[in-house]
Amino acid sequence: YSREYLLNAARNVDKSYNTSAKIIVGDILSNILGSKKKLTADSTKDLPVIIIPYLNPFTAISFIRQRSVSETDISSPMLFFENQKGYFYTTVKSIFDNSGAGASELQTLFQREGISSNVKGSQ
The CA distance from 33 to 13, in Å, is 10
Question: What per-residue confidence (pLDDT) applies to 110?
Answer: 43
Which of 17-26, 65-74, 112-121 bottoms out in mean pLDDT, i.e. has the lowest?
112-121
Q: Which residue has the higher pLDDT, 40 or 115?
A: 40
- Average confidence score pLDDT of the chain: 81
- Single-letter amino acid, residue 57: P
Question: What per-residue confidence (pLDDT) applies to 106?
Answer: 44
Is the per-residue pLDDT at 32 higher than 90?
Answer: yes
The CA distance from 52 to 41, in Å, is 20
Q: Are 47 and 118 in contact (CB under 8 A)?
A: yes
pTM, 2 dp: 0.76
Q: Using CA of residue 17, residue 20, residue 21, residue 27, what is the dihedral sign? A: negative
Q: Give 109's pLDDT tier (boundaries 50, 70, 90).
A: very low
